[in-house]
Amino acid sequence: MQYPNQIGQLIESFSKLPGVGRKTATRYAFHILSMNDNDASEFSQSIQETKNAITFCSVCGFITSKDMDPCAIDRDQTRDQTKIFVVKDSQAVMSIDNLNDYRGLYHVLNGVINPLAGIGPENINVTSLINRLKQHPEVNEVIIGLDSSAEGEATTLYLARLIKPAGIKVSTLARGLSVGSDLNYADKLTLSRAVTGRTEL
Amino acid sequence: MQYPNQIGQLIESFSKLPGVGRKTATRYAFHILSMNDNDASEFSQSIQETKNAITFCSVCGFITSKDMDPCAIDRDQTRDQTKIFVVKDSQAVMSIDNLNDYRGLYHVLNGVINPLAGIGPENINVTSLINRLKQHPEVNEVIIGLDSSAEGEATTLYLARLIKPAGIKVSTLARGLSVGSDLNYADKLTLSRAVTGRTEL
């Protein structure tokens, strides 16, 4: 017994999403069947339209419409043009920007250096960052906001070594205890970082 | 800061899938962006094609192509025409049929009775089941294989009371310990069912 071709193909497509196995994909596919026709064509169209209309900004690597390159952030002259926040992906730009704590520019690497997966500096947006810094001597601080993983930290160190010789200040996100967390339950590494990086009151 | 329209719409569509919240939907949408063009249009098309080409069999309620009604199972004369297996949805037909323990017919209710959610016998395929039994006096056993939830059990009892007066044998799936499970860790209800329904060796 096999599912009809069309639904088999749909299950196949859903299985390609990150973290989705065969059972979840089947569940999603059956949900599409039970959707009304409008919702289903909207879904189908929005996949196609996203692929057709969205691209990555040629300046900072953030997602943007094809008819709006450079992106809205780079066009916004009210933003602080002297600071660039380096992040892993476009979702991180949204996370940081919605905090309203930072109103400067961004640079999206679209990945981190990961030698085991064959991702070197040439596979992520490092060259465009360095060129951008050369073209804009007004930039005086680069904030590196990558994940606190081995790959994230290695990428941070790599970038810092590359940028600091140009006399630009390089900073990274504070590591320490989460707000509201219990000191006794923190892992050793986090606690050790919180002690080393203690702040004066 | 907002995502470009198209990707916002796509996140909206993904959020409609069962068990998918805003964060997961965003993750899926970004995955679509990073897919190659072919995979993305295949995905988009298969949603549309599934909606266009798939319908529910007019005899048993199982999913089938629009150009193949009644479905392949009902057309298969090598199957035992005297037994009907009643299940909740089309996925259950696949689960049972792939066991190769059962080679009869099926009837898909497409739901179970759930008064709290406003789903009565008239909202699921009960009438079509009763009519089918009337038209096919050769059926001598109806196996009810619904979930072991309150709604599933209520639906089972409701169907049994409806079908038994016609002199048709009604059975349901055995409840008991899972194969390989530890007796001491079974919940009380399952253990009690395993004792009551003990089988002679």
Contact flag A46-B13 (C-beta cutoff 8 Å): yes
Per-residue pLDDT of chain A (201 residues; tens, 9 = 90+): 678 888 999 999 999 999 999 999 999 999 998 888 899 999 999 999 999 999 899 999 999 988 888 999 999 999 999 999 999 999 899 889 888 889 999 999 999 999 999 999 999 999 999 999 999 999 999 999 999 889 999 999 999 999 999 999 999 998 888 888 888 888 888 888 888 888 888
Does residue B159 lie in a domain region?
yes
d(CA A57, CA B165): 71
Q: Are both B41 and B80 inside the same structural domain?
A: no
Of B141, B139, B60, B75, nearest in space to B106 by CA: B60
Instruction: Please report how many Cα atoms fall inside a 13 Å half-sphere around the Cα of residue A103, on the Cβ side.
Output: 6
Of B46, B76, B56, B20, nearest in space to A12 by CA: B46
pLDDT along chain B (201 residues), means of 10: 84 94 93 90 93 92 90 93 94 89 94 93 94 95 92 94 94 89 88 86 82
Which CATH number covers residue A78? 3.40.1360.10
Angstroms from A196 CA to nearest CA on chain B: 33
Instruction: Please report how many Cα atoms fall inside a 13 Å half-sphere around the Cα of residue A49, on the Cβ side.
Output: 15
Contact flag A3-B63 (C-beta cutoff 8 Å): yes
Does residue A183 lie in a domain region?
no
Residues linked to residue B141 through DSSP beta bridges, in sequence order = B83, B169
Q: Are both A85 and A160 inside the same structural domain?
A: yes
Q: Are both B76 and B48 inside the same structural domain?
A: no
User: If you count them, how many residues does chain A have?
Assistant: 201
Of A27, A10, A36, A34, nearest in space to B49 by CA: A10
Q: Are both A42 and A85 inside the same structural domain?
A: no
Contact flag B35-A46 (C-beta cutoff 8 Å): no
Q: How many CB atoms lie within 10 A of CB B117?
A: 11
Q: Are both B101 and B120 inside the same structural domain?
A: yes
Instruction: Check residue B186 and give its pLDDT.
Output: 87
Residue type for position B181: S
d(CA A60, CA A57): 6
Contact flag B3-A51 (C-beta cutoff 8 Å): no
Instruction: Check residue A186 and give its pLDDT.
Output: 87
Cβ-nearest to B18 among A7, A31, A93: A31
Q: Are both A146 and A75 inside the same structural domain?
A: yes
Q: Which residues, at least 6 apart from B102, have a Cβ–Cβ distance to it below 8 Å?
A: B83, B85, B96, B143
Q: Are both B49 and B67 inside the same structural domain?
A: no
pLDDT tens per residue across span A156-179:
999 999 999 999 999 999 888 888
pTM: 0.77
Q: Which pairing describes strands B80-87 and A104-108: parallel, antiparallel, or unpaired?
A: unpaired
Residues of A in contact with B43 (CB under 8 A): 13, 16, 47
Q: Helix or strand or coil: residue B154?
A: helix
Angstroms from B78 CA to nearest CA on chain A: 14
Of B29, B50, B51, nearest in space to B40 by CA: B29
Q: Helix or strand or coil: residue B118?
A: coil
Angstroms from A23 CA to nearest CA on chain B: 10
Range of the domain at B33: 5-55
Which DSSP state fits A18?
Answer: T
